[in-house]
Chain A
Amino acid sequence: MELGTWQPAGNAPPPDPAARPLAIEARGLVKRFDGFTAVDGVDLSVPEGAIYGVLGPNGAGKTTTLRMLLGIIDPDEGYRRVLGSERPHEVAHAIGYLPEERGLYPAMKATEAIAFVGALRGLPLAEGRRRGRALLEEHGLGYAADRQIRQLSKGMAQQVQILGCLVHEPRLVIFDEPFSGLDAINQGKLEKMMRGLAERGTTVIFSTHVIAHAERLCDGIAIIAGGKVPFAGPVDVARDRIPAQVRLETRAPDGPWRAALPADARHDRKLDGSSFFTFPLPETGIEPLLRALIEGEAGILSLSIERAGLHDAFVAIAGEAAAAALEAAPEEEQRR
């Protein structure tokens, strides 16, 4: 594999992730700190070559889970298998990791920093320097190759660290909040890079506060709240957890047809006198409802059925409080 070329490599679509062997398998992971249960029975199954998102608000147990998968800390209970090994450090040479708290030695030059991270993963320093320079060139950072990390902007330093995660050509990459600290353009580049990695068969796991990233990128997600995983599986399955939403606009605000709408349908009056209703698609389907509306002369102005988004799924699975905390997290981060 040629590193640094993050463009799609081939025309053949990757095989169905569910059919691939597991890059990560965790069962019943538990971690307690001084009587506080940070992670409480987490199960994860991540197929090789998948892009997998770990979603949850601050304090949910995301980082602790990732640290257990990496072998930085050991679980108090449970079982983990990473790239076929129950001891993650045994396969450390095949793993890349970007921690939530970014850090490099400030006095190191960018190329040296990448080579050093590669050396920690078993890549000879000389080869690491060569690849590091090539990676920097490829990502438009060639001019910074001989600059010290302290001379780079925060975003540039983060990009150098991301390249350090990849210099040894890992089979599994774990990013903890990779998008935080990057501007919109670099976030887009990172998304593209992650897709490129997955297309080459590299498994990518990342935690995020931003559901939109997970929705765009992930084959599968795990929602973590309160140290537990109420959902883990494909994004489509998460979205199917809640029924599609019906959005109906009528000329008449009321009438006998209202009996066909669910009792908890949300009703908003618009300034022009029309009414707007939002409610889950009834189990009986749309046809009986449509018949009742027409026969009751509701005056249908518009009717749409929308599949639930990942955000709605998250709210339904993890609860309103967790969703609010998740959405507040980036703001908190910025305040800090």
Chain B
Amino acid sequence: MTIHQASGRLSTLAAALVVARRDFGAVLFSRAFVFFLLGPLFMLTITIMASGVGQSVERSASQPVLGVAMSPADTAALRQSATRLETALDDTVPQLLPIEPGARAPGELLRTNSTRVSAVLTGSLAAPVLTGPAGLIDEWRGPVALLAAAARDGSPRAYPEVHLAATAAAPGPDERVGRMRTAQAGQTLLFLLTMLLAGMVLSNLVEEKANKIIEVLAAAIPMDSLFLGKLFAMLGVSFVGIAVWGTAGGAVALAGGRSLAELTAPAVGWPAFIALGITYFAMAYLLLGSVFLTIGSMASTVREVQTLSMPVTMLQLLVFFFASFALASPHAPLEQAAVLVPFSSPYAMLARAAEEPGLGQHLLAIGWQAAWVALFIRFGARLFRTRVMKSGPARGRGWFRGRRAAA
């Protein structure tokens, strides 16, 4: 795109980019940006502390169980070796549950799953047979061979061949529930990111007002460009933030042996889901940001911005809860309302991306949200011009303290 037209007159977008470039540089090289980058760290710490207990309970409840349907002697020897090796092998040794051998076929046992076992071990210590979901038994093949060898000989030199018998229907988490979890994770991430930005957007125009440069800007470019430029700048800043957080988070996750594969793959696939996530984040930010910028522009001081922060945070929470609540009932009137209401639309549509294939509806939704962004910016700029750009002796300034007369 050419920024400068032949006549020298800037288009709305070009003027917005001049403002965005200045703001982007100013924010990026400020101390505030360091705190912005550290923001998720604080949130993460609090989240980990708050959910620590619940997670440990959940972990113990959801630990996979291996049913052992061998002879009593083999079963006892296997349990002894499991106890002996548990400390050394940590989580790789499954919890063992003795099952009466021959009572029911392993496949039937897993289908009814009355004993909450994930796989069943039959045969003998010399020739064990592992029955269960393909991925799981493949993962347990090694530990089971080790346990069987240790049960036969205290210092095993040879490991028995473990025969695998994969079951047709893989039990485990229901795919829909898994996708719902992916959707929830996406929504939560979206919410956290927009919340981090809200404070910065709110105080965005205060700097111009405090430095009294606002009139220079307002005289040179349309207010729409000014608002758009400020939103673009903060969006750029947030993308830098996401890149930093993503890289750091990814590195930590990889180091800890975690990956996206732990979440159920979204219906549209991971690449499209990530692309849509970034787009919906941009839309959620632009929608809320344009409103916050308008509200913030009415404030003259940081104190006024702080006063505004609480209701703004509550509004964000409301939007988030609305979209989260709607997630549970796809295509119900409530969920459709969440898709249509501009503020909750990005959250609801991201959830749909996790649960339903097809990209057409997303193009429509992005267009719908973009139209609202344009509307909010136009309205905000107009309000700013009519309410703030007055002049004269200060009988009061800003949104809260009355009006100003003419000079």
Contacts and interface: CB of A to CB of B under 8 A. Distances in A.
A106 B407 contact: no
4 A-B pairs closest in CB distance: A38-B406, A103-B212, A63-B407, A120-B220
Contacts of B275: none
A207 B26 CA distance: 33
A196 B99 CA distance: 102
A203 interface: no
Interface in B272-290: none
B405 A70 contact: no
A31 interface: yes
B116 interface: no
Interface in B365-407: 385-386, 389-393, 403-407
A62 B18 contact: no
Interface of A: 31, 33-34, 36, 38-39, 58-64, 67, 70-74, 89-95, 97, 99-107, 116-117, 119-124, 161, 164, 168, 227
B407 A59 contact: yes
B407 A120 contact: no
A105 B213 contact: yes
Given A67-B391, A122-B9, A62 B407 contact: yes
B215 interface: yes
A71 B15 CA distance: 16
A99 B211 contact: no
A101 B220 contact: no
Interface in B154-209: 207-208
B259 to A, nearest CB: 42
Nearest to A91: B9
Contacts of B391: 38, 63-64, 67, 100
Counting chain B CB atoms within 10 Å of each CB, the highest count among A36, A91, A103, A161 belongs to A103
Contact of B220 (A58, A92, A106): A92
Contact of A107 (B5, B7, B19, B26): B26
Contacts of B407: 58-64, 100
B22 interface: yes
A63 B392 contact: yes
Contacts of B5: 122
Contacts of A58: 392-393, 407
B9 A93 contact: yes
Contact of A99 (B208, B216, B393): B216
B217 interface: yes
B399 to A, nearest CB: 14
Nearest to A64: B406
Given A105-B213, A168-B8, A227-B406, 5 more contacts: A36-B406, A38-B390, A89-B222, A120-B19, A121-B220
A97 B220 contact: yes
Contact of B216 (A33, A71, A117, A122): A117
Nearest to B14: A122
A103 B214 contact: yes
Contacts of A74: 385
Contacts of B221: 89, 92, 120
Which of B3, B212, B219, B405 counts the most chain A CB atoms within 10 A? B219
A74 B222 CA distance: 12
Contacts of B218: 72
24 contacts: A31-B406, A33-B404, A36-B406, A38-B391, A58-B393, A64-B390, A64-B406, A72-B215, A73-B385, A73-B386, A90-B9, A92-B10, A92-B221, A99-B212, A100-B391, A101-B212, A103-B211, A103-B216, A104-B213, A105-B22, A105-B211, A120-B19, A121-B8, A122-B8
Nearest to B403: A34
Interface residues of B, number: 38
A89 B390 CA distance: 18
Interface string B20-43: 001000100000000000000000
A50 B9 CA distance: 24
B4 interface: yes
B211 A97 contact: no
A41 to B, nearest CB: 14
Contacts of A59: 392-393, 405-407
B393 A93 contact: no
B406 A122 contact: no
Contacts of A106: 211
A103 B215 contact: yes
B227 to A, nearest CB: 14
A94 B8 CA distance: 8
B22 A122 contact: no
A315 B219 CA distance: 33
A103 B213 contact: yes
A120 B217 contact: yes
Contacts of A102: 212
A108 to B, nearest CB: 8
Nearest to A98: B216
Contacts of A95: 219
A93 B216 contact: no
Contacts of A36: 405-406
Contacts of A73: 385-386, 389-390
A111 to B, nearest CB: 14
B300 to A, nearest CB: 12
B403 A99 contact: no
A97 B23 CA distance: 21
Contacts of A164: 216
Contact of B406 (A39, A70, A104): A39
A39 B386 CA distance: 15
Contacts of B220: 92, 97, 117, 120-121
Contacts of A99: 212, 215-216, 219
Q: Which of B4, B215, B218, B393 neighbours the largest number of chain A CB atoms within 10 Å of its CB?
A: B215
Nearest to B404: A33
B306 to A, nearest CB: 22
Contacts of A67: 215, 219, 389, 391
Nearest to A120: B220
Nearest to B23: A105
A249 B18 CA distance: 67
Contacts of B392: 38, 58-59, 63-64
A111 B407 CA distance: 31
A90 B26 CA distance: 28
B26 to A, nearest CB: 7
Nearest to B5: A122
Contacts of B389: 67, 72-73
Contacts of A62: 407
B4 A71 contact: no
Contacts of B386: 73
